[in-house]
Chain A
Amino acid sequence: MNPHDIAPTLPAQFAALTPFTNWCLATETERNRKRNASAMLELQAFRDAILPQVDEVVRYLDGFSLDAMPKDALNLMHMLLSLAEIAPAVESYHQPGVIDGYDPARFVADEQFVMRPSV
């Protein structure tokens, strides 16, 4: 992220997650890159922070249309998608990357694909 960008803000009731707003990333490519560049302890800290309130996060976000989320809700949505991104790391591999996996940087997500969802 450009250091001149203002740090992403979250809806007030989820302010406790502010230390993890560097997970507010809009694309799979960015989320996967961050996962693979993180230490396992960082992934676990992020999971430990968001998982206990994940149902509340979902309930809050379900109140908005996916096509018209206010900016702070959209940031929270991107953080929630990051939780999905790290799920295999913390629940299956117990390391950031896929064990013995093909280089993820060579397996390029088509972020412009016409059938992708709006968020």
Chain B
Amino acid sequence: MDQKVINLKLHDRYPELGKGPVPVDPYISQDYYRREQGGIFRKTWLHVGRVEEIPSAGDYFVKDLASCDTSIIVVRNKKGEVRAMHNVCSHRMNQIVYEQRGHTRKFFCKFHGWAYDLDGNLTGVPDEECFFDLDRCEHGLSMVACDVWQGFIFVNMDPEPALSLADFMRPMFGGIEGFPFDKLTTGFGWSTVVNCNWKLALDAFQEAYHVAYVHGHSIADAIDTESGGSMPPLDALCGEYHRRLSIAGNPKSVYGNPNAVTAGGEAAKEALAVSGESKPIAAAALRAGMGSATHQFLKEDLPQGMNWTGHPNWLFDINVVFPDFYLSLRPNYCQAYNFRPIAHNKTLLEARVYYPEMKTAGGRFYLEYMKVTLRDVLLEDLSTLERTQAAVETGVKKNMVLQDYELLVRHSAHVVDRMVQQQAQQSTKKENA
């Protein structure tokens, strides 16, 4: 444990972020949220799902993006490309698709039967001769910029995005490209509408200072802690938009040593030795799961951007993709959460976890143990959010005070505010012109 890094002085690396108190008005201001919608959500790449959700031509899902006041159809076309379009008929604006997901050859509007192909082209109009010089080419569905990074599908409401998705992601996340996301083909999901601001929700996930308290009953023993329970991160990185935090685990626990199920051997022995006594169901699940995964996930094969400090007890990296996408990468699974704003004080949390497929009943038992533990940890994380929102809304405190290891919370507020201010400046310029 002597390899642990303490006193990182992370803030010293990012002097532009300052060290002072951070205003909480952005958590409770309706006006600030409206400015985030224009300055951020309508012009940034937003994660909406995985390519594995729509494996075949004609597979689609619908994503409601309240922050952009729209609903998007994401579909795989006949060429195998992923396309996105607004769920709005060109005729009299009915929603084209009612179901949240499905498979179709074409999209038919249920109002008057207008038909569109998988690329959004208008291909059929009942009683077409009764319209006046109708040019089908001009009345396709309204397309939305859509691209894929490492199997994650993103959309951008800006028809001509300022940055390509690759240019948006690479500066911070180029080093994790190549992670075997495509081998994580078993997924579970939950959703909930939380009565709090989206940033307040995200902030609860982008620091580990809370772990010893919020998770004191559950997984605190899975995390590599200092005596006294505090949990310094291994390192943190902040970029122009995105941010990362690397965390060490306790290899002597099942939850904190997920590598054990795919690596077996010494890793498994270590995880089982202690948990066999204290957490016999956890130990049984690990014994049951070993050798069941369809892929091996060797630590040495992981891209170099993961566990970038090379710490032997590394457990996971938190990757926050601006603005609202949390992607936690473990050696053999990942968690993907979106904190989608609905209003200034309402957030849709869509949480997913992706594991390797398990071939056997024992492997399935292990996944259920890992998933249920994670879900309960999420219930702990969520427990503070509405209370914190209510407390902020009292107006008693105007600022929050952040310590060095809460750097990502500070960086998040900083980037959001920069984007909101930029948008305000551009609007002023336009008005003056």
The one of A54, A84, A106, A114 that contacts B53, using a Cβ cutoff of 8 Å: A114
- Segment 376-396 of B: residues with Cβ below 8 Å from A: 376, 378-380, 382-383, 385
Given contacts A109-B190, A115-B185, A115-B187, are A91 and B282 in contact (CB under 8 A)?
A: yes
Interface string of B335-377 (1 = CB under 8 A from A): 0000000000000000000100111111011011101110110
Q: Count of chain B residues with Cβ under 8 Å from any Cβ of A?
A: 47
Most chain A CB within a 10 A radius of its CB, from B101, B280, B385:
B280
- Segment 54-85 of A: residues with Cβ below 8 Å from B: 54-55, 58, 61-62, 64, 66, 69, 77, 80-81, 83-85
| B287 contacts partner chain A, Cβ-Cβ < 8 Å | yes
- Segment 68-119 of A: residues with Cβ below 8 Å from B: 69, 77, 80-81, 83-88, 90-93, 98-102, 104, 106-110, 113-117, 119
The one of A28, A32, A62, A101 that contacts B360, using a Cβ cutoff of 8 Å: A62
Asked if B281 and A102 sit within 8 Å, CB to CB, the answer is: no
Asked if A116 and B187 sit within 8 Å, CB to CB, the answer is: yes
The one of B218, B278, B368, B382 that contacts A85, using a Cβ cutoff of 8 Å: B368
The one of A84, A99, A108 that contacts B281, using a Cβ cutoff of 8 Å: A84
Asked if A102 and B382 sit within 8 Å, CB to CB, the answer is: yes
Q: Inside 8 A of B50's CB, which chain A residues have their CB? A: 115
**Number of A-B pairs, beta carbon distance below 8 Å:** 146
| A51 contacts partner chain B, Cβ-Cβ < 8 Å | yes
- Segment 181-202 of B: residues with Cβ below 8 Å from A: 185-193
Asked if A116 and B365 sit within 8 Å, CB to CB, the answer is: no
| A47 contacts partner chain B, Cβ-Cβ < 8 Å | yes
Asked if A66 and B364 sit within 8 Å, CB to CB, the answer is: yes
A47–B187 Cα distance when bound, in Å, is 27
Asked if A83 and B382 sit within 8 Å, CB to CB, the answer is: no
| B397 contacts partner chain A, Cβ-Cβ < 8 Å | no
Asked if B280 and A93 sit within 8 Å, CB to CB, the answer is: no
Asked if B188 and A113 sit within 8 Å, CB to CB, the answer is: yes
Q: Inside 8 A of B357's CB, which chain A residues have their CB? A: 117
Chain B nearest Cβ from A56, distance in angstroms? 11
| B279 contacts partner chain A, Cβ-Cβ < 8 Å | yes
Given contacts A62-B361, A93-B218, A98-B379, are A87 and B186 in contact (CB under 8 A)?
A: no
Closest to B357 in A: A117
Asked if B365 and A90 sit within 8 Å, CB to CB, the answer is: no
| B301 contacts partner chain A, Cβ-Cβ < 8 Å | no
Closest to A93 in B: B217
Nearest first, the 7 A-B pairs at minimum CB distance are: A115-B187, A61-B361, A102-B382, A84-B368, A101-B379, A110-B189, A87-B281
